[in-house]
Amino acid sequence: MNTVLSSRVCGLLALLAPALVTAQSSSPPPLTWVGTDLVDGRPSSVRFTAADAAAPTLIAFGAGRACRLEARFVTHDGTQFHYDVTAGNGGWCDRFQPGRVVLRVDGRKATLQVRTQGAPLQVAMWPVGDATRAPPPRGTWTGLANPADPDASLASLQLADHDPGDTRSRLVFGSPDSCRLSLRYEGATPAGAWYAPLPGNGGARCDRLLDQWVVVREAGDAATVHVEPTPGDCADGCRWTRSSR
């Protein structure tokens, strides 16, 4: 009896095996890749996030573009993942509707290509949290918002990011400005680590930094901070001192 039952079970599994394989190969694994492109010579983050086949894949573009695409998974062969663009939130991303997304994976590196009728966008990517890549500065630095004015507010730069597109960093100004901004890490160049200020709790000084880049260059326990493309108070670079790691 047990032998007969076992034979039937084995036969059923043999019949279902091709369908199971097809079902597995039709769904991409969850994955997040990050990279940096250049916009007017400045770094701009790119983040590709695929949660599962049921949820839309998100492609977020950073400073200078500030938009995102949604895409629907189509198929993959283990190394190339294909998606159709299904939506976007306007602006620069409108050029990719309709469009096609291909992610080519080669070990711990990948190439993201977003195709449309014009020239495709192509960006080198790597896995989020890749420990083999040098991280940007991390810690807290403090100093005067305007070194030429002894009565200027005290600024605190709190950097906690690792990958392009991370938004854990903060720039906080004390009294009389009393405002704060989140910073999105965009990438690095020989000039330093680049961050895009994001809307915070308001305030004239913080609002002036929107649509700018904050560039940080670490030097021992100090950090030189300047703003692109409008220098403002830090025309020659504000040199702030590390207060914590």
> pLDDT tens digit string along 48-82?
998 776 789 999 999 999 999 999 999 988 899 99
Instruction: Please give the Cα distance from 127 to 110 (Å, whole number).
Output: 8
Q: Do 145 and 233 meet the contact criterion of CB atoms below 8 Å apart? A: yes
Q: Which phi and psi angles does 101 have, rounded to 5°? A: -115, 135
- Name which of 164, 170, 168, 169 is nearest 186 in CA terms: 164
DSSP reduced 3-state for 188: strand
What pLDDT does 145 receive? 86
Taking only the tens place, the pLDDT of each residue in 100-114 is 999 999 988 999 999
Low-confidence ranges of the chain (pLDDT < 70): 1-30, 53, 117, 230-233, 235-236
- Name which of 115, 126, 215 is nearest 164 in CA terms: 126
- Name which of 73, 126, 64 is nearest 101 in CA terms: 73
What pLDDT does 178 receive? 93
Q: Do 83 and 75 meet the contact criterion of CB atoms below 8 Å apart? A: no
Name the residue type at position 155.
Answer: A
Name the residue type at position 123.
Answer: V
Instruction: Please give the Cα distance from 199 to 218 (Å, whole number).
Output: 25
Q: Do 94 and 82 meet the contact criterion of CB atoms below 8 Å apart? A: no
